[in-house]
Amino acid sequence: MIPIQKVKEIISKHSLLEKELSSGKISKDDFAFKSKEYSDLNEIISTAKEFENFEKNKNELENMINDEKNETEIKSIANEELKQLQIKYDINVKKLKLFLLPKDEADTKNAMIEIRAGTGGLEASLFASDLFKMYEKISNKKKWSLEIISISKSEAGGLKEVICSIKGKNIYSSLKYESGVHRVQRVPQTETQGRVHTSAATVAVLPEAEEVDIKIEEKDLRIDVFRSSGPGGQSVNTTDSAVRITHIPTGIVVSQQDEKSQIRNREKGLKILRSRIYEMERQKRDDQRSKDRKSKIGSGDRSERIRTYNFPQGRVTDHRINMTIHKLDQFMEGEIFDNMIENLSLHAQEEELKNLN
C-alpha cells in the first residue's frame, strides 16, 4: 500500500514549484533545476490527485448504491462507476509505485562500453567484433554518437578488446542490462567438420563519469609512459606516446596507446579511469543497500552468463528473463534490440516493486 502522505507530498511539491517558477524570483541555476523537477512531477500529478480523491469518490458511490431512496437504474450506474473507479485505482497504484522507486542517478548519463573476447580463441575475438558492430548499428539507428576510445584487433578481423563512449539521451538506462557474459554457438569458418563451437565475450557498461562526478587528485596518480606497440610487439611510434595510469587509492590501472599524442592518450585514459572509479563507488553503495545484488538484473556482474546467440537455430536467448527471439539476424542488425531491453527493464521494475510490498 502507498502511504497517502507520500502522495500528498507529491501534490504539495508540484503546487509549490508551479508558484516558484511563475514568480520570476528564482535564479537561473535554480530555474533549470526546478523546471526539471516540475517536469518530472507533471508526469504523475494527475495520477496522484486521482489517488488522493479515491476514498472520497468511493464513499460517495457506495452511499448512492446503499441509499434505499435511489432507483435501481441509478444504483446500477453507480455500481458500474465504482467498478471502473477500482480498476483505475489499481492502475494508479502501480504508476505511483514505479514513480516512487529509488531513481538510478546514472540512468541519464552517457555510457562507456567495454567489450572483450573471452573463452574460445579466435572465434571469441570474431564474436567480440560482431557484438561491437551490433552496438554500432544500434547507435546509428538511434542517432547516438559512438566514439572509439581504445581498440585492440586480433587476426582475421576480430577484436581482443574495444572500449567506446556512447553519447545521447538516457544512454546508460538503455544499455546497462548488457553487462555480463555473452555466449555464442556457431560453426567457425575454420571448422571443416561443421561442428558447432561455443565461445564467449564479456561486455561491461559503465556510466560515463564527468569531472564533477569524480575528482581525481594528481597526487593519487602514477603515470608511466612507453612506446606504443602493435601486433607481435613491434614498435609503432618512435616516441613515448603510450600512457599507463595507475590510481593509487583503488589500484585501478588504465593503459592507452591508440593516439600518437601522449596528451590525447592521457585524456582518454583519465576518461576511462573516471568511469571505472565512479562505477566502483556506485557498486559499494548498492552493496550496502542490498546484500543480494546478484539476483538483480543490471547488477553489472561480468561473470554472469546473460545471453546466448545460437546461429544454427537463428535465436537469441536472454537467460535472466527466459526470453527467446527467433530472429537472430535482425537482432544482430539492431532491428529488434528495443524489444529485449523493454522486457529486461520491465522485469527489473517488477522485481523492485515486489520489494516495496
- In 3D, which of 140, 197, 192 has the Cα closest to residue 168? 140
Residue 80, exposed/middle/buried by CB under 10 A (0-12, 13-18, 19+)?
exposed
Average pLDDT value over all residues in the chain: 86
Q: Is 98 exposed, middle or buried (0-12, 13-18, 19+ CB in 10 A)?
A: middle
Query: What is the pLDDT at residue 288?
Result: 59
Pairwise CA distance, residues 284 & 278, whole Å: 10
User: How far is the CA of 181 from the CAs of 154, 196, 213, 314, 348, in angstroms?
Assistant: 19, 19, 28, 19, 19
pLDDT at 297: 52
CA distance linking residue 256 with residue 158, whole number of Å: 19
Query: What pLDDT does residue 235 have?
Result: 47
With the CA atoms of 6, 10, 11 and 15 taken in that order, what torsion angle do they form, in degrees rounded to the nearest 10?
Answer: 140
DSSP H helical ranges for 248-322: 262-289
3-state helix, strand, coil in the chain (%, to 5): 50, 20, 30
pLDDT bucket at 311, cuts 50 / 70 / 90: very high
Distance CA 245, CA 199 (A): 31
List, in sequence order, every residue forming a beta bridge with 108; answer none if it has no partner: none
CATH code assigned to 111-213+293-356: 3.30.70.1660
Domain with CATH 3.30.160.20 in the chain: 218-288
C-alpha span between 123 and 117 (Å, rounded): 9
Least confident of 59-63, 132-136, 243-247, 254-258: 254-258
How high is the pLDDT of residue 135? Answer: 97
The percent of residues in the chain predicted with pLDDT above 70, rounded, is 90
Q: In CATH, what number does 218-288 get?
A: 3.30.160.20
45-83: per-residue pLDDT in tens? 999 999 999 999 999 999 999 988 888 999 999 999 999
Lowest mean pLDDT of 88-97, 162-171, 284-293, name the range: 284-293
Average pLDDT over residues 16-40: 87
Q: How many of the other CB atoms lie within 10 Å of CB of 354?
A: 8
Best CA proximity match to 65, nearest among 54, 56, 55, 78:
78
pLDDT of residue 69: 87
Element holding 163 (H helix, E strand): strand 159-167
Q: With contact defined as beta carbons under 8 Å apart, do 275 and 287 qualify? A: no
pLDDT band (50, 70, 90) for residue 9: very high
At 232 the pLDDT is 42
Q: What percent of the chain has pLDDT over 90?
A: 50
Q: Per the structure block, which three cell numbers stand in for 153?
A: 584487433
Model pLDDT for residues 104-157, shown as the tens digit of each residue: 778 889 999 999 999 888 999 999 999 999 999 999 999 999 999 989 998 778
Region 27-35 average pLDDT: 84
* pLDDT for position 290: 56
CATH 3.30.70.1660 placement within the chain: 111-213+293-356
pLDDT at 318 over 60: yes
Give the residue, 162 or 299, on which the prediction is more confident. 162
Which pLDDT tens digit goes with each residue over 273-299? 989 998 888 877 766 555 444 444 544
CB neighbour list of residue 131: distance below 8 Å, 6 or more residues apart: 115, 182, 201, 203
Contacts for 326 with CB less than 8 Å, ≥ 6 apart: 313, 314, 315
The pTM (predicted TM-score) of the whole model is 0.70
Q: Please give the pLDDT value at position 357.
A: 54
pLDDT value of position 281: 85
Q: Whose CA is closest to 48, among 90, 92, 94? A: 92
Q: Which helix (H) or strand (E) holds 348?
A: helix 337-356
User: By mean pLDDT, which of 16-30, 49-63, 303-317 is the weakest?
Assistant: 16-30
**Residue 215, pLDDT score:** 83
